Each structure stands twice: as C-alpha cells, then as structure tokens.
A = this chain, B = another copy of it.
Amino acid sequence: MAADEIAEREKQPHFARLLQIEWLADQPNGAKARVAVRDDLLQPFGTLDGGVMSSVIEDLCSRTTALAVHGEGNAAMGQSINVNFLRPITEGHAEVTARARHRGRTAWVWDAEVRDSADRLCAIGQMTIAVRPFPS
C-alpha cells in the first residue's frame, strides 16, 4: 500500500527523477541507488557536483525510510545530513549504499557511502530522517 502510493507519486515530476536516480535496493540494511555522470550533473570544472552526491544520499535514505514507515501512517522527512567528500568523480556513475544504523520511533539514522564505477570510496555520509505522523 505504502509502496503503491509512493510508486504512484514517483510517476510525477520530482527531484530524484530530474537527477535520473536509479533505485537498486530498498532494504534498510543495504539500500542502494545509482546516478550516471552526465554534463548536467557536473560542477563547472568537470567533476560530479558534490550536491548530487548529497542529494542521492538524502533521497535514498528518505525513500527507504518512507517505504518502511508510510504503511503505519508516518511520514519521513530529512532532518540533517553530513557528508565528507573524499575523491572526485568524473565519469561513469556514482553508487550510494546506505544502512539504517538506528530505527527509532521518531527518527532513523543512516550511514552511507558513495563509490565510483571503479568501486573507489568517494564520499561518506550520515543522515537523520525524522519520522512523524502523517498530517491528516
């Protein structure tokens, strides 16, 4: 049901679709998503914009939390994010893997890592997703 409503909403224009994020896994123990590098996602000096990496982390953690809590009448909203950028990405794709380290009643806390096509670690992040009763 939750998945159905979310799938329905994801047919509409939204940011993850503008980025062309590909959802690869929905498990809280190993959620995964990927974005292909293209000119539209670079910063002016030719590397993948750090904002893209932060956005994929944010959208992956938010979406996976939403899939888990939406059925109980709860909404998932990003509360905070922290990302350390380690290595630039210039081609291929960026793949984000995230793991829910804490699934509390009011917040889920995730860690995440971003790897390039050669499986090199390019960024690490932590993200808190607030869980709140859905506004009725």
Chain A interface residues toward B at CB < 8 A: 6, 9-10, 12-19, 39-45, 47, 49-52, 54-56, 58-59, 62-63, 66, 75, 77-88, 101-102, 104, 106-107, 109, 111, 113, 121, 124-126, 128, 130
Contact = CB atoms under 8 A, between A and B. Distances in A.
A84 B88 contact: no
A50 B81 contact: yes
Q: What are the 3 tightest A-B residue pairs by CB atom distance, in nearest-first order?
A: A51-B55, A15-B49, A50-B78
Nearest to A58: B51
A61 B7 CA distance: 35
A58 to B, nearest CB: 4
Contacts of A78: 50, 85
